[in-house]
Amino acid sequence: MDMKKLMVQDLMQTDVKMVNKNTTLLAAAKMMYDLGVSSLIVEPYDDGDAFGIITRKDIIEALVTDSIGGIEDLVEDIMSKPALTVNIGLSIYSCQQLMRMVGVRRLPVLDGTDLVGILSNTDIFAKLVEGIS
């Protein structure tokens, strides 16, 4: 399988789960659990704002390191913002390199300025395994 020929749009998930920055960590964690996802995209405040991202790992690390007040703190207190995004037409190979260099596992996908999906290392891994078997 030639990963250089696969594009983001070939592997991305289009059912993106979003959360507001004013949501509590408890509510965000419950939402992730209920939806069976490990991250949520944080809605931009307005048209000039960037997307953010919060992951299950972010919440766990914040709680066990006491770097926040507690589970009633807000998503905006620990989210990564701006989220590192990629364009729908980027190659999977480039995304793999970017994820490895920057140390992220998920990339929100944009078509222009519109959020159209999310690509995770799990999506890439599944395609690699599919090509091997």
pTM: 0.89
- Topology given in CATH for the domain delimited by 8-132: CBS-domain (3.10.580)
The distance of Cα 121 from the centroid of its chain, to the nearest Å, equals 10
Q: Which residues pair with 112 in a beta bridge?
A: none
Please state the domain extents for the chain: 8-132
Q: Could you list the pLDDT tens digit for every one of the 133 residues in the chain?
A: 666 789 999 999 999 999 999 999 999 999 999 999 999 999 998 878 899 999 999 999 888 886 667 788 899 999 999 999 999 999 999 999 999 999 999 999 999 999 999 999 999 998 888 876 5
- Rounded Cα distance, 45 and 51, in Å: 9
